[in-house]
Amino acid sequence: MKGEVVHELEICLSAEEIWMIYRTLQLSELVVKLLPNIIHKVEVVEGDGGVGTVIIVHFSSEMSPVQSLKEKFTKIDDEKRIKEAHIIEGGYLQLGFISYMNRLEIIKKEDAVSVMQFRL
């Protein structure tokens, strides 16, 4: 099976402000605080948040058909504000997918308005 899902979300913050969080491991801390019913814990297995970093995301059991996934950051482009991560264990691979990549791009719309584009 091969496919792609794209979702865009407009946010009233500058692209630079959003990228400062999404580019780093601060995002891991933030998603646990903002989405406790979905994400239970995020562990950093290897790396400092740059390309090659490996994390394990543990899901809240009642919200997910899988308990965890391991992903590796494979691309971080500060100029274009793009971050890509591939699931390397568990998650959707456990459900039969051969490969799975998350791609986030922060697009500047106006000085204080940005679009977050998610590609799965």
Quick: pLDDT tens for 85-108.
999 999 989 888 899 999 999 999
In a domain, 81, yes or no: yes
In a domain, 77, yes or no: yes
Domain count, the chain: 1
Assign 1 a pLDDT band (cuts: 50, 70, 90).
low
Structure tokens at 80: 């274009």
| Torsion from C-alpha of 83, 31, 50, 120, nearest 10 degrees | -30
In a domain, 8, yes or no: no
- pLDDT attached to residue 24: 92
In a domain, 1, yes or no: no
In a domain, 116, yes or no: no
pTM (2 decimals)? 0.89
In a domain, 120, yes or no: no
Per residue in 34-48, pLDDT (tens digit) is 999 889 999 999 999
Specify the amino acid at residue 89: E
Distance between CA atoms of residues 36 and 14, nearest Å: 26
CA dist 26 → 7, 32, 45, 65, 69 (Å): 22, 10, 15, 26, 18
| Owning domain of residue 46 | 16-98
Residue 26 belongs to domain with CATH number: 3.30.530.20
Active-site residue list: 83
Residue 3, pLDDT > 90, answer no
In a domain, 87, yes or no: yes
